[in-house]
Amino acid sequence: VMMPKAQGDWLEDETSRDERMAEVARSENVYERLAASIAPSIYGMDDVKKGVLLQLFGGSQKDFSDKGWGRIRSEINVLLVGDPGTSKSQILRYVHRLAPRGIYTSGSGSSAVGLTAYVARDVDSGELVLESGALVLSDQGICCVDEFDKMSDYTRSILHEAMEQQTISVAKAGIIATLNARTSLLAAANPVDSRYDPKKTVVDNIQLPPTLLSRFDLIFLILDQVDIESDKRLAKHIVSLFYDNVNNISGNEASYIGASIGGQKLLEYIAYARERVKPRLSDAASDKLVELYVAMRKRGGEGVGGVRTVSATPRNLESLVRMSEARAKLELREVVEVSDVDEAHRLMVSAIAQVATDPTTGLLDIDLLNAGQSAHQRGKARDLANMLWTTLSNWESGGDVRLNMLLQKTNEDASVRIKETEMKKALKLLEEEDKIVFTSSRLAIRRLA
C-alpha cells in the first residue's frame, strides 16, 4: 500500500525540482543545447529548430479584459514549407511528443468539425452534447497539422478565428458556445508541383490564402538544394545513426549528440518554464523593439510606378514581442533583455527574407503574405489596365469584345507577351472602377465609360 507523502516531502521534491531546472537554465549555451535537442536525429536546420523551440515555450499570457482590450495572443504559430523529404513531418511528430499538451493530425484527413467541435448524442442520456475537436483539445498546447496544403478551403477558413482570437464559436443544434482554442499551430505544407519554384511567390507555390499565411509568426522555407559539402555532412550524420558502436561516430556528430538534452528532461523543463515563468519587457527591450520595427519598415524599396513595398506590419511587431518573451522564458528569466529581442529579430528577418522576397524585383515585400500580391505585381496590373483601356477606347467595332480577341490584339501591340491570367487581373481593376462590365458568362466585356 502506497502511503501519501507528508507535506515536508512535497516541499522537498518541489525544491529539488526548482534546483534541477535552475541548473539547466544556468548551463553553458543553454539556447543552442535546447535547439539541438529538437529532433536531434535531423541534421542542421538550426533556425527552424530554434523557431520551433520558441514556439514550445511561448510568450507571456496577457489579459486586459478589465480595460476592455481583451486577451492578447501569446502563442506562436509556425509554418514549414518545402520540398518533400526534408524532414518536415519528423519535426512535427517530435514536437507533438514534447508538447505538454497537443494533438497531431493530417490536413488530408481533417474536417472542419474535426478541428473545431461537433454535436453528438450522449449514449446514456440521449441528450445532444458538444464534443471538442483538435484545436479545442490542444488548448494551451500545440496542434500539429501535417499536409496543411491538402486541407479543403472550408476547413482552412475556420482556422482564421482560432489562430488570432484563440476561440472557436459554435452554433449547432440549438447549442451556442464559444470555446477556448489557445493553441499554437505548427503546420507543414508541400508546394503545389511537389518542388518549390523559386521563380514563383510562396502564395503561388503552396496555394494558401494570404489571410491565413499572415497569421503565422514564422514561415520557414526548407529546400532540397544540391551542395556537395552539405550533402556529405548530411550523409555522414544519417549513416552515424545506424552505428551500434559509439566510437565509430565522428567528433562533430558526437559533440552534436552530446550537446542535446534528453527527451524526458526537455519535456519537464518546457512544462516547468511554461508554468512558472512569465517574462515582462524591460525598458531597454521595449526601446529596442520600437527601433527594430522602424528599421524593418524602412527596408521597403520602391516598386513599379514609385509604389513603396511594405516590409513589416504591426502584426510582425507583435510576433517579435512573443518570440522575445519566449527567448527569455527558455532561460527562466523574468525580464526580457535586448539580446532576446535581437535573436527574435534575427529569426524573423531570416524567415521573412526567404518567403516574402519578390522573385521579380528581389525586394522584401510583406504584402506577398498579407495580400498575395507584391507592389511590383500591383504596379504591373495597373499599367496593363491602362493599356487595355486604351485598346478598348480605340476598338473599331462597338458592342461586346471577346476576351480572346482582346488578348490577341493587346499582344500584337505589346512588346512583351501578356498572359490571360494577367489580363483578367487588369480587367478586374477596370471593373472595380465601373469602366467595363463582363458579359456572356465573363467571356466578353462591354465598355461603360
75 vs 182: CA distance, rounded Å: 7
- Confidence check: pLDDT of 9 > 50: no
Share of the chain above pLDDT 90, in %: 18
Q: What is the pLDDT of residues 33-48, one digit of tens each?
A: 999 888 888 877 889 9
Structure letter (DSSP) for residue 75: -
Q: Which residue has the higher pLDDT, 374 or 445?
A: 445
Q: Which residue has the higher pLDDT, 340 or 385?
A: 340
195: confidence class by pLDDT, cuts 50, 70, 90: confident
Of 52, 312, 59, residue with least CA distance to 166: 59
Q: Which residue has the higher pLDDT, 11 or 331?
A: 331
Residues 6+ apart with CB under 8 A from 205: 81, 191, 192, 196, 197
149 vs 260: CA distance, rounded Å: 32
Q: Are strands 280-281 and 184-189 parallel, antiparallel or unpaired?
A: unpaired
| Full-model pTM | 0.79
Q: What is the pLDDT of residue 76?
A: 92
**3-state class (DSSP) for residue 13:** helix
Of 45, 22, 23, residue with least CA distance to 35: 45
Burial 76-85 (b: 16+ CB within 10 A, else e): bbbbbbbbee
